[in-house]
Amino acid sequence: MKVTVLSGGVGGARFLRGLIDVLPQTDVTIVGNVGDDLELLGLHVSPDIDTVLYTLSGAGDAERGWGRADESWRALDTVAQLGGDTWFLLGDRDIGLHLFRTEALRSGQPLSAVMARIARGFGLELTLLPATDDTLRTWVDTPAGSFPFQQWFVARRFEDEVDGIRYVGAAEARPAPGVIAAIEAADLLLITPSNPYVSIEPILAVEEIRTAVLARTVPCVAVSPLIGGKAVKGPADRMLRRLAGGTTAAHVARCYTGLIDALVLDEADADDAPAVAALGVTPVVTRTLMRDPETRRALAETALGATGSVL
Protein backbone atom coordinates (compact mmCIF):
# COMPACT_ATOMS: atom_id res chain seq x y z
CA MET A 1 0.00 0.00 0.00
CA LYS A 2 1.51 3.33 -1.09
CA VAL A 3 1.16 5.98 1.58
CA THR A 4 1.96 9.69 1.30
CA VAL A 5 2.28 11.59 4.55
CA LEU A 6 2.20 15.32 5.23
CA SER A 7 4.44 15.79 8.24
CA GLY A 8 5.74 18.37 10.67
CA GLY A 9 8.76 17.91 12.96
CA VAL A 10 8.89 16.20 16.34
CA GLY A 11 5.33 14.74 16.64
CA GLY A 12 5.30 13.89 12.94
CA ALA A 13 8.63 12.10 13.13
CA ARG A 14 7.54 10.00 16.13
CA PHE A 15 4.43 8.92 14.26
CA LEU A 16 6.42 8.14 11.11
CA ARG A 17 8.77 5.97 13.11
CA GLY A 18 5.78 3.79 13.99
CA LEU A 19 4.60 3.86 10.39
CA ILE A 20 7.85 2.50 8.97
CA ASP A 21 7.65 -0.33 11.48
CA VAL A 22 4.46 -1.52 9.80
CA LEU A 23 5.03 -0.52 6.15
CA PRO A 24 8.00 -1.09 3.82
CA GLN A 25 9.92 2.17 3.54
CA THR A 26 9.73 1.98 -0.24
CA ASP A 27 5.93 2.43 0.04
CA VAL A 28 6.25 5.66 2.04
CA THR A 29 6.61 9.21 0.74
CA ILE A 30 6.90 12.06 3.24
CA VAL A 31 6.10 15.64 2.29
CA GLY A 32 7.81 17.82 4.88
CA ASN A 33 7.30 21.34 6.15
CA VAL A 34 9.86 23.96 5.13
CA GLY A 35 8.02 26.94 6.64
CA ASP A 36 10.28 26.84 9.69
CA ASP A 37 13.55 26.67 7.72
CA LEU A 38 16.07 29.38 8.51
CA GLU A 39 19.44 30.77 7.50
CA LEU A 40 21.78 30.90 10.47
CA LEU A 41 25.53 31.55 10.55
CA GLY A 42 25.47 31.27 6.78
CA LEU A 43 23.88 27.81 6.93
CA HIS A 44 20.55 26.63 5.56
CA VAL A 45 18.75 24.75 8.36
CA SER A 46 15.60 22.69 7.69
CA PRO A 47 14.52 21.74 11.23
CA ASP A 48 11.35 19.76 10.47
CA ILE A 49 12.76 17.72 7.61
CA ASP A 50 15.97 17.10 9.55
CA THR A 51 13.95 15.96 12.57
CA VAL A 52 12.21 13.41 10.35
CA LEU A 53 15.53 12.35 8.82
CA TYR A 54 17.29 11.92 12.16
CA THR A 55 14.37 10.22 13.89
CA LEU A 56 13.71 7.72 11.11
CA SER A 57 17.37 6.86 10.57
CA GLY A 58 17.93 6.31 14.29
CA ALA A 59 20.44 9.19 14.43
CA GLY A 60 18.16 11.51 16.41
CA ASP A 61 18.17 12.50 20.06
CA ALA A 62 15.07 10.70 21.34
CA GLU A 63 14.81 12.78 24.52
CA ARG A 64 14.87 16.23 22.86
CA GLY A 65 13.01 15.01 19.79
CA TRP A 66 15.19 17.18 17.48
CA GLY A 67 18.88 17.28 16.62
CA ARG A 68 21.30 14.37 16.77
CA ALA A 69 22.06 11.85 19.47
CA ASP A 70 25.53 11.88 20.97
CA GLU A 71 25.89 15.54 20.05
CA SER A 72 28.58 18.03 21.08
CA TRP A 73 28.44 21.82 20.91
CA ARG A 74 32.02 22.93 20.38
CA ALA A 75 31.43 24.91 17.19
CA LEU A 76 28.67 26.87 18.94
CA ASP A 77 30.97 27.46 21.93
CA THR A 78 33.33 29.26 19.57
CA VAL A 79 30.45 31.29 18.13
CA ALA A 80 29.47 32.27 21.71
CA GLN A 81 33.07 33.20 22.54
CA LEU A 82 33.06 35.54 19.54
CA GLY A 83 29.71 37.08 20.48
CA GLY A 84 27.77 35.50 17.60
CA ASP A 85 24.20 34.20 17.43
CA THR A 86 23.66 31.16 19.65
CA TRP A 87 19.93 31.35 20.37
CA PHE A 88 19.31 28.42 18.02
CA LEU A 89 21.28 25.39 19.15
CA LEU A 90 23.26 23.80 16.34
CA GLY A 91 25.32 20.82 17.41
CA ASP A 92 28.58 19.83 15.77
CA ARG A 93 27.24 16.72 14.04
CA ASP A 94 24.12 18.60 12.93
CA ILE A 95 26.30 21.37 11.50
CA GLY A 96 28.01 18.81 9.27
CA LEU A 97 24.68 18.21 7.54
CA HIS A 98 24.00 21.94 7.23
CA LEU A 99 27.45 22.49 5.66
CA PHE A 100 26.82 19.75 3.10
CA ARG A 101 23.31 20.99 2.26
CA THR A 102 24.22 24.68 2.13
CA GLU A 103 27.09 24.05 -0.27
CA ALA A 104 24.86 21.93 -2.52
CA LEU A 105 22.13 24.60 -2.51
CA ARG A 106 24.67 27.32 -3.34
CA SER A 107 25.91 25.24 -6.27
CA GLY A 108 22.37 25.43 -7.64
CA GLN A 109 20.91 22.07 -6.63
CA PRO A 110 17.28 22.19 -5.48
CA LEU A 111 16.50 21.31 -1.86
CA SER A 112 14.54 18.20 -2.92
CA ALA A 113 17.54 16.78 -4.79
CA VAL A 114 19.89 17.52 -1.90
CA MET A 115 17.52 15.96 0.64
CA ALA A 116 17.22 12.84 -1.53
CA ARG A 117 21.02 12.44 -1.39
CA ILE A 118 21.04 13.11 2.35
CA ALA A 119 18.25 10.61 3.02
CA ARG A 120 20.17 7.91 1.12
CA GLY A 121 23.32 8.86 2.98
CA PHE A 122 21.48 8.21 6.24
CA GLY A 123 20.33 4.81 4.97
CA LEU A 124 16.66 5.68 4.40
CA GLU A 125 14.79 3.94 1.58
CA LEU A 126 11.66 6.04 1.82
CA THR A 127 11.13 9.24 -0.15
CA LEU A 128 11.62 12.41 1.90
CA LEU A 129 10.48 15.49 0.00
CA PRO A 130 10.30 19.14 1.03
CA ALA A 131 6.86 20.54 0.14
CA THR A 132 8.60 23.02 -2.15
CA ASP A 133 12.06 23.89 -3.43
CA ASP A 134 11.05 27.54 -3.37
CA THR A 135 11.48 29.86 -0.40
CA LEU A 136 8.38 29.61 1.80
CA ARG A 137 8.63 30.93 5.37
CA THR A 138 6.14 30.95 8.22
CA TRP A 139 5.80 34.32 9.99
CA VAL A 140 3.94 34.75 13.25
CA ASP A 141 2.06 37.97 14.00
CA THR A 142 1.85 38.73 17.72
CA PRO A 143 1.01 41.77 19.89
CA ALA A 144 4.81 42.20 20.29
CA GLY A 145 5.39 42.30 16.53
CA SER A 146 5.88 39.91 13.63
CA PHE A 147 8.56 37.25 13.82
CA PRO A 148 9.98 34.53 11.56
CA PHE A 149 8.79 31.21 12.99
CA GLN A 150 11.97 30.13 14.80
CA GLN A 151 12.45 33.59 16.36
CA TRP A 152 9.01 33.28 17.91
CA PHE A 153 9.27 29.58 18.72
CA VAL A 154 12.82 29.23 20.02
CA ALA A 155 14.19 32.69 20.80
CA ARG A 156 10.92 33.98 22.32
CA ARG A 157 9.84 30.51 23.58
CA PHE A 158 6.43 30.92 21.86
CA GLU A 159 5.33 33.11 24.77
CA ASP A 160 3.64 35.80 22.64
CA GLU A 161 0.02 35.10 21.77
CA VAL A 162 -0.54 34.53 18.06
CA ASP A 163 -2.85 36.93 16.23
CA GLY A 164 -2.15 35.54 12.78
CA ILE A 165 0.16 33.41 10.69
CA ARG A 166 1.52 34.12 7.25
CA TYR A 167 3.24 31.78 4.83
CA VAL A 168 5.49 34.20 3.01
CA GLY A 169 6.32 33.03 -0.51
CA ALA A 170 3.48 30.49 -0.62
CA ALA A 171 1.64 32.26 -3.43
CA GLU A 172 4.62 31.82 -5.77
CA ALA A 173 5.78 28.44 -4.45
CA ARG A 174 5.49 25.36 -6.64
CA PRO A 175 5.43 21.83 -5.24
CA ALA A 176 8.82 20.13 -5.24
CA PRO A 177 9.23 17.51 -8.02
CA GLY A 178 7.48 14.31 -7.00
CA VAL A 179 5.07 15.82 -4.47
CA ILE A 180 1.96 15.92 -6.64
CA ALA A 181 2.76 12.54 -8.22
CA ALA A 182 3.11 11.02 -4.72
CA ILE A 183 -0.25 12.47 -3.66
CA GLU A 184 -1.91 11.21 -6.84
CA ALA A 185 -0.31 7.74 -6.70
CA ALA A 186 -1.04 7.11 -3.00
CA ASP A 187 -3.53 4.51 -1.78
CA LEU A 188 -3.84 6.53 1.41
CA LEU A 189 -2.91 10.04 2.53
CA LEU A 190 -1.96 10.73 6.14
CA ILE A 191 -1.50 13.91 8.16
CA THR A 192 0.73 13.44 11.20
CA PRO A 193 -0.16 14.56 14.77
CA SER A 194 1.43 17.96 14.22
CA ASN A 195 0.46 21.59 14.77
CA PRO A 196 -2.10 22.35 12.01
CA TYR A 197 -1.05 26.01 11.75
CA VAL A 198 2.72 25.92 11.72
CA SER A 199 3.52 22.36 10.61
CA ILE A 200 0.82 21.21 8.17
CA GLU A 201 -0.70 24.43 6.83
CA PRO A 202 2.65 25.67 5.41
CA ILE A 203 2.60 22.52 3.22
CA LEU A 204 -1.03 23.04 2.18
CA ALA A 205 -0.33 26.73 1.56
CA VAL A 206 1.28 25.63 -1.69
CA GLU A 207 -1.86 25.90 -3.79
CA GLU A 208 -1.14 22.94 -6.07
CA ILE A 209 -0.60 20.68 -3.05
CA ARG A 210 -3.88 21.77 -1.44
CA THR A 211 -5.69 21.26 -4.75
CA ALA A 212 -4.21 17.77 -5.17
CA VAL A 213 -5.30 16.76 -1.64
CA LEU A 214 -8.77 18.27 -2.19
CA ALA A 215 -9.05 16.30 -5.46
CA ARG A 216 -7.98 12.97 -3.89
CA THR A 217 -9.81 9.80 -4.80
CA VAL A 218 -8.37 7.89 -1.83
CA PRO A 219 -8.95 8.49 1.90
CA CYS A 220 -7.01 11.09 3.84
CA VAL A 221 -6.61 10.45 7.57
CA ALA A 222 -5.27 12.99 10.07
CA VAL A 223 -4.13 12.27 13.62
CA SER A 224 -5.02 14.93 16.18
CA PRO A 225 -2.03 16.44 18.02
CA LEU A 226 -4.18 17.10 21.12
CA ILE A 227 -4.84 14.85 24.10
CA GLY A 228 -7.62 15.98 26.39
CA GLY A 229 -7.62 19.29 24.52
CA LYS A 230 -3.94 19.86 25.29
CA ALA A 231 -0.83 19.71 23.12
CA VAL A 232 1.67 17.02 24.13
CA LYS A 233 4.39 19.60 23.45
CA GLY A 234 4.40 23.07 21.95
CA PRO A 235 1.79 25.76 21.32
CA ALA A 236 -0.87 23.91 19.25
CA ASP A 237 -3.53 24.12 21.98
CA ARG A 238 -2.99 27.83 22.64
CA MET A 239 -3.06 28.56 18.93
CA LEU A 240 -6.25 26.57 18.39
CA ARG A 241 -7.96 28.32 21.30
CA ARG A 242 -7.05 31.75 20.00
CA LEU A 243 -7.33 31.20 16.24
CA ALA A 244 -10.07 28.55 16.02
CA GLY A 245 -12.00 29.32 19.20
CA GLY A 246 -11.42 26.03 21.02
CA THR A 247 -9.38 22.89 21.49
CA THR A 248 -11.79 20.05 20.82
CA ALA A 249 -11.15 17.43 18.16
CA ALA A 250 -13.81 19.19 16.06
CA HIS A 251 -11.68 22.34 16.11
CA VAL A 252 -8.77 20.27 14.80
CA ALA A 253 -10.98 18.69 12.12
CA ARG A 254 -12.14 22.16 11.00
CA CYS A 255 -8.51 23.11 10.27
CA TYR A 256 -8.66 20.41 7.58
CA THR A 257 -12.08 21.12 6.07
CA GLY A 258 -12.49 19.20 2.81
CA LEU A 259 -9.03 17.69 3.21
CA ILE A 260 -9.64 14.72 5.52
CA ASP A 261 -12.05 11.80 5.68
CA ALA A 262 -11.15 10.54 9.15
CA LEU A 263 -9.59 12.00 12.30
CA VAL A 264 -7.81 9.78 14.79
CA LEU A 265 -8.35 11.28 18.24
CA ASP A 266 -7.43 10.35 21.77
CA GLU A 267 -9.68 8.48 24.19
CA ALA A 268 -9.51 11.55 26.42
CA ASP A 269 -11.36 13.46 23.66
CA ALA A 270 -13.91 10.71 22.93
CA ASP A 271 -16.77 13.06 23.84
CA ASP A 272 -15.83 15.17 20.79
CA ALA A 273 -16.48 12.27 18.39
CA PRO A 274 -20.11 13.21 17.53
CA ALA A 275 -19.07 16.80 16.69
CA VAL A 276 -16.31 15.46 14.42
CA ALA A 277 -18.79 13.10 12.73
CA ALA A 278 -21.18 16.03 12.24
CA LEU A 279 -18.49 17.63 10.06
CA GLY A 280 -18.56 14.58 7.77
CA VAL A 281 -15.26 13.30 9.18
CA THR A 282 -15.10 9.78 10.63
CA PRO A 283 -13.84 9.94 14.23
CA VAL A 284 -11.52 7.09 15.24
CA VAL A 285 -10.93 6.99 18.98
CA THR A 286 -7.77 5.38 20.31
CA ARG A 287 -4.76 6.07 22.55
CA THR A 288 -2.59 8.57 20.71
CA LEU A 289 0.26 9.19 23.19
CA MET A 290 3.43 7.74 21.64
CA ARG A 291 5.49 6.56 24.62
CA ASP A 292 7.47 3.71 23.06
CA PRO A 293 7.77 1.63 19.86
CA GLU A 294 4.61 -0.35 20.66
CA THR A 295 2.38 2.69 21.14
CA ARG A 296 3.86 4.36 18.03
CA ARG A 297 3.21 1.25 15.97
CA ALA A 298 -0.33 0.84 17.33
CA LEU A 299 -1.15 4.44 16.40
CA ALA A 300 0.23 3.96 12.89
CA GLU A 301 -1.84 0.80 12.47
CA THR A 302 -4.99 2.59 13.66
CA ALA A 303 -4.39 5.44 11.20
CA LEU A 304 -3.80 2.98 8.36
CA GLY A 305 -7.00 1.14 9.22
CA ALA A 306 -9.05 4.26 9.93
CA THR A 307 -11.07 4.17 6.75
CA GLY A 308 -11.14 0.45 6.31
CA SER A 309 -7.89 0.30 4.29
CA VAL A 310 -6.27 -3.09 4.63
CA LEU A 311 -2.57 -3.55 5.30
- Of 3, 23, 27, 36, the one binding ligand FO1 (CB under 6 A) is 36
- Over the window 60 to 79, marking each residue x when it contacts ligand FO1 by CB under 6 A and - when it does not, the resulting string is ------xx------------
Number of residues interacting with ligand FO1: please give it, by CB under 6 A: 19
Smallest gap from residue 94 Cβ to ligand FO1 (A): 6
Smallest gap from residue 96 Cβ to ligand FO1 (A): 12
- Of 51, 127, 132, 192, the one binding ligand FO1 (CB under 6 A) is 51
Closer residue to ligand FO1, CB minimum distance, 88 or 122: 88
94 binds ligand FO1 (CB under 6 A): yes
- Of 4, 6, 8, 266, the one binding ligand FO1 (CB under 6 A) is 8
Smallest gap from residue 139 Cβ to ligand FO1 (A): 14
197 binds ligand FO1 (CB under 6 A): no
150 binds ligand FO1 (CB under 6 A): yes
> Any residues with CB less than 8 A from the CB of 118 and at least 6 apart, and which?
53, 97, 100, 101
Other CB atoms closer than 10 Å to residue 48's CB: what's the count? 27
Within residues 242-301, the interface with ligand FO1 by CB under 6 A covers none
**Which of these ranges, 116-124, 148-156, 222-230, 248-256, lies near ligand FO1 under the rule CB under 6 A?**
148-156
State the residues that interact with ligand FO1 by CB under 6 A.
8-10, 36, 45, 47-48, 50-51, 66-67, 88-90, 94, 150, 153-154, 199
